[in-house]
């Protein structure tokens, strides 16, 4: 009888010990899981930008562009300067077609060297472009590429409330582009206050499509006509539009 009672007592102790171990293990897993959850919690885009801006020799700029549907969008461009052997590296994320990017980057590097007076033979420049859609061209990002390169070389922070569109020429002048209105609207959506455009592009000619019909006896003939219309970019976008002719002139608005 005593052996049976002792055996039951031992079984209860084993069961209690097992339950206690399971409980402790569950608490341990819960604590670890919670810490992993917080560690992997995604940070906001603003937090990510601030972390980038804290790094040395990194240039950050938002770039307005037009996607394959003809809609204005905003992309992010990061240029990092590191000790190296004069290489130019490109990290393009989700970008399926950017026809003129290679030449724009080459020109941006040349112009940024000339403006800063820094020989980049002993440095590597890495261009990272984040886009949520395929772009139809990269030539109009030339001015932004150059400004971000200068920011990385001189270790300065560009004003995020200013955005720019325009090509860049070998002498640092800024050339004309298309789709200014759609790009201005994209800039407005991400919080830009000033939008810098090439000279004489503060106004844009857009074409409205209308149908015109005429009656000939019992017949009616209709045709599609394109009517030109001059658009004031500032009024249409709600941004302050600034026309500039060169990279050095544009830079003053980004560092003031």
Taking only the tens place, the pLDDT of each residue in 66-92 is: 776 777 888 889 999 999 999 998 876
Q: Dihedral angle at the C-alpha atoms of 59, 62, 67, 72, nearest 10 degrees?
A: -160
Cα dihedral across residues 11, 17, 23, 29: positive or negative: negative
- The confidence band for 10, taking pLDDT boundaries of 50, 70 and 90, is low
For 93, residues 6+ apart whose C-beta sits below 8 A from its C-beta are: 128, 129, 130, 131
- Tokens 């990092």 identify what position? 80
What's the rounded mean pLDDT across residues 119-147? 81
The rounded distance, in Å, linking the Cα atoms of 152 and 80 is 6
Phi and psi at residue 4, to the nearest 5°: -65, -45
Residue 59: the pLDDT is 95
3-state secondary structure 118-166: CCHHHEEEEEEEECCCCECCCHHHHHHHHHHHHHHHHCCCCCCCEEECC
Q: Which residue has the higher pLDDT, 117 or 12?
A: 117
Range from 31-40, 47-56, 65-74, 183-192 carrying the lowest mean pLDDT: 31-40
Residue 116: the pLDDT is 96
At residue 44, does pLDDT exceed 50? no
Phi/psi region, residue 93 (left: phi>0; alpha: psi -120 to 50; beta: rest), is beta
Fold adopted by 45-202+233-254? Ribosomal Protein S5; domain 2 (3.30.230)
Q: How many CB atoms lie within 10 A of CB 203?
A: 17
Residue 11: the pLDDT is 58
Phi and psi at residue 65, to the nearest 5°: -150, 180
For 171, residues 6+ apart whose C-beta sits below 8 A from its C-beta are: 111
At residue 4, does pLDDT exceed 90? no
The rounded distance, in Å, linking the Cα atoms of 17 and 19 is 5
Q: Return the domain boundaries, the chain.
A: 45-202+233-254
Burial class (CB in 10 A: 0-12, 13-18, 19+), 98: buried
């Amino acid at each position: 009888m005593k052996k049976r009672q002792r055996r039951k007592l031992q079984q209860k102790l084993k069961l209690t010990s097992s339950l206690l171990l399971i409980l402790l293990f569950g608490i341990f897993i819960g604590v670890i899981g919670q810490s992993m959850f917080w560690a992997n919690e995604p940070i906001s885009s603003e937090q990510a930008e601030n972390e980038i801006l804290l790094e040395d020799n990194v240039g950050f700029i938002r770039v307005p562009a037009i996607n394959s549907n003809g809609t204005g969008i905003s992309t992010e461009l990061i240029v990092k300067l590191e000790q190296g052997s004069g290489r130019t590296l490109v990290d393009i994320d989700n970008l399926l077609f950017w026809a003129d990017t290679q030449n724009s980057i080459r020109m941006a590097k040349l112009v940024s060297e000339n403006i800063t007076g820094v020989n980049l033979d002993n440095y590597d420049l890495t261009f990272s472009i984040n886009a949520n859609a395929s772009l139809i061209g990269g030539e109009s990002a030339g001015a932004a590429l150059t400004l971000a390169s200068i920011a990385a070389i001189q270790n300065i922070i560009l004003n995020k409330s200013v955005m720019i569109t325009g090509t860049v020429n070998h002498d640092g002048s800024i050339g004309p582009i298309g789709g200014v209105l759609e790009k201005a609207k994209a800039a407005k959506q991400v919080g830009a206050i000033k939008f810098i455009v090439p000279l004489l592009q503060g106004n844009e000619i857009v074409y409205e499509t209308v149908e015109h019909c005429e009656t000939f006896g019992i017949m009616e003939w209709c045709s599609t006509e394109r009517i030109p219309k001059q658009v004031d970019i500032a009024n249409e976008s709600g941004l302050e539009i600034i026309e500039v002719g060169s990279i050095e002139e544009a830079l003053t608005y980004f560092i003031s």
